[in-house]
Amino acid sequence: MSLKEVLAANRDRQMIIIMKDGRGFRGKPVRFDDDVIVLRDVFETLNQDVDEKGYMFWRRVLHSYLIINADHVTRIWPWEVAT
């Protein structure tokens, strides 16, 4: 599957996006193409923000939308909270 297909299939779900610099973003994809991903309801974490159990600490981004250069994305997957 291409990046656009994955994002289109998960448009109404929160996605985790990990960047080349280790920064992570969690949000809902609004618009996307081969070059840019636009997220809303965004949270951010740094690769150092992991505790001893492997949990990441997420902070809300203070902007309505976040625009990401798709060339800098290394991993992406749907956000699933296990119960």
Q: What is the pLDDT of residues 62-71, one digit of tens each?
A: 888 999 999 9
Look up the pTM and report it: 0.81
Separation between Cα atoms, residue 57 and residue 11, nearest integer Å: 24
Instruction: Give the chain's mean pLDDT.
Output: 85
Domains and CATH numbers, the chain: 3-78 (2.30.30.100)
* Residue 72 pLDDT > 70: yes
Torsion of CA 20, 12, 30, 66, to 10 degrees: -50
Contact 46, 22 (CB under 8 A): yes
- Torsion angles phi and psi, residue 82, rounded to 5: -80, 140
